[in-house]
Chain A
Amino acid sequence: MIITIQKPDEEINKMIEGRDRIFIIGCGTCATECQTGGEEQVKDLKNKLESLGKKVTGQLIVESVCDQRLTRRDLRRNKETVNDSNAIMVLSCGTATQTVSEISKKITIPCCDTEFIGTTERIGKFYERCRACGECILYDTGGICPIARCGKTLLNGPCGGQAKGKCEVGGWEKECAWIQIYERLRDEGRLDLFKKYRPPKDHSEMASQREVIFR
């Protein structure tokens, strides 16, 4: 899931300065689960805008804003109110904001900061698990990703910055991913994989806007 948090009011207020007719879009998938862009947050934003004297021209929750097909369909259905707006506020991730911007051609205001691809323990407890590096090595690392979870993204850890299994980044509070990897591989009888040298990653694929096109 894409984990988002809401931007502070002051930051949002600056972006809506001078824009008096605003359309609001929430997302029914990740942002609903993060409670940053579901029904309630869209309603709260509407009330806030109205208390600032703005007109909310319309609001909707797209099932998945990042899916261009769904967003295009829903924007078309709300064509008149969208056209009557001088900004669209998007309560979702950066991909969602760009999708709305590309399709609507309207000034689009991101209301959330996109944090990471993560796992949900429960609402309000989200943890990063993937950096979308395009070269998954989880089989070799006991199902624990050092790219997302090691402070130095080491492929051959641990480093000297771990103490009693904790990481120097953030003051030895978080787990050292490489100690976790070691323990997991040890318990699985696969320490040969721990000791294996992993050469540096090929970053050429990540050098520009990535695409997946298969037909």
Chain B
Amino acid sequence: MIREAFSELTKAIRAGTFVYTGEIEPLKTTSLEETLETAKILKGHVIAANITDNPTAFAYMNSLIPSYFIQKEIGLEAVYQVTVRDRNRLAITADLLAASALGIKNVLALSGDHTTVGDDPGTKPVYDLDSTALVDLLRKMVDDGTDIKGNKIDQPPKFNFGIAGNPNADPLDPEILKIERKIELGADFMQTQAVYDVDLMKEFVKQVSRLKVPVIVGIAPFKSRGMMDWMVKNVPGIVVPEDIQKSLLAAREKSKEAFLDENLKIFGDLIKEIRNTPNVSGLHIMTIGFEWIVPKLIEKANQ
């Protein structure tokens, strides 16, 4: 059974449009101002924006709230990210019901970085469900109209839901099998971890193509030299080819502007490669803190 396309994102993917999605990170604040400003910048350039759920296990504003407001105030569709790190199945089910009531159409099911890498490492991690069980929960809610236990839901939610994949995963085989497990449970789409290495990206897409799931490939340009060093050091398994690092560092020696120009060149070329790869449905651009580069990147890739 093919699930109905509830979201603009899923409708566009099914229509064969190459989609662009962005990413917005709520911060440790009670103000929505920055989030909404970011959404304004992204609007018109991406079809939807992911709202992160306590990324790297830092406690930020609950991702549901900005997800609702960017749709309502800015008219940008949200991909509501839900991790299984902080809430048990009871709380997640409750939040998903609330999300649907608020008009959320896309959910991304994630494990979430471990609490020990966060800003309060002593936090108790929950993991009552894992990301695969969250896909199972979403399928049951949407398709069967029940919670994960089978208890009936009145007016079940209408979500399309996605999973994450990591093209950098080493070894890759268990990653592919895990993705297959989630696709068989009924995920609608996949967004990937940031890729920098074209060959890795192509191999990954080739391997998942038999699963017939729309793949939205992730990229994460570098805001600064510091961010590049941090990504290389801290993001698990991220592979940034030496030549990319070298050319960016050489540009940074000249000036900050040259560093950003080099970013546009490198990631513009990467986007072109991704778009020309068969079986890729779209591009997920992660540019936390410098979203203004998104329109420039897409323009560069279109040249």
Contact = CB atoms under 8 A, between A and B. Distances in A.
A76 B300 CA distance: 85
B178 interface: yes
Contact of A169 (B114, B128, B164, B175): B114
B8 to A, nearest CB: 27
A77 interface: no
A120 interface: no
Contacts of A156: 130-133, 178, 181
B295 interface: no
Contacts of A170: 116
A203 B88 CA distance: 11
B16 to A, nearest CB: 29
Interface stretch (B96-104, B165-173, B264-272): B165-173
Interface residues of B, number: 34
Contacts of B117: 168-169
Interface string B114-130: 10110000000101111
B170 A163 contact: yes
Interface in B156-206: 164, 166, 169-171, 173-175, 177-178, 180-181, 184-185, 193
B237 interface: yes
B144 interface: no
A159 B111 contact: yes
A172 to B, nearest CB: 7
A179 interface: yes
Contact of B171 (A155, A157, A161, A179): A179
B173 A182 contact: yes
B63 to A, nearest CB: 18
Nearest to A178: B174
Nearest to A167: B114
B284 interface: no
B143 interface: no
A153 B171 CA distance: 20
Nearest to B111: A159
Contact of A161 (B111, B136, B170): B111
A157 B127 CA distance: 12
Interface in A160-215: 160-165, 168-170, 172, 178-179, 182, 186, 191, 194-197, 199-200, 203
Contacts of A203: 128
Nearest to B121: A169
Contact of B177 (A163, A172, A191): A191
A168 B236 contact: yes
Given A160-B236, A168-B117, A182-B174, A197 B132 contact: yes
Contact of B180 (A179, A182, A195, A200): A195
Given A153-B127, A168-B113, A170-B116, A158 B174 contact: yes
Given A154-B130, A159-B111, A164-B170, A200 B178 contact: no
A125 B168 CA distance: 33
Contact of B148 (A159, A179, A200): A200
B105 interface: no
B89 interface: yes
A119 B243 CA distance: 46
Contacts of A165: 170-171
A152 interface: yes
B166 to A, nearest CB: 5
Given A172-B236, A195-B181, A160 B132 contact: no
Contact of A200 (B128, B181, B184, B237): B128
A94 interface: no
A116 to B, nearest CB: 16
Contact of B127 (A152, A191, A194, A197): A152
A200 B171 contact: no
Nearest to A151: B114
A152 B125 contact: yes
Given A154-B111, A169-B116, A195 B133 contact: no
Interface of B: 85, 89, 111, 113-114, 116-117, 125, 127-133, 136, 148, 164, 166, 169-171, 173-175, 177-178, 180-181, 184-185, 193, 236-237
Per CB-CB distance, the 4 closest pairs between chain A and chain B, nearest first, are A156-B132, A163-B237, A182-B174, A163-B236
Given A155-B130, A160-B193, A178-B174, 16 more contacts: A151-B125, A154-B130, A156-B132, A160-B164, A160-B166, A161-B236, A162-B169, A162-B236, A162-B237, A163-B237, A168-B113, A169-B117, A194-B177, A196-B181, A197-B132, A200-B128
18 contacts: A151-B125, A153-B127, A154-B127, A155-B132, A156-B132, A159-B130, A161-B111, A161-B114, A162-B237, A163-B170, A164-B170, A165-B170, A169-B114, A178-B174, A182-B174, A194-B177, A197-B185, A200-B129
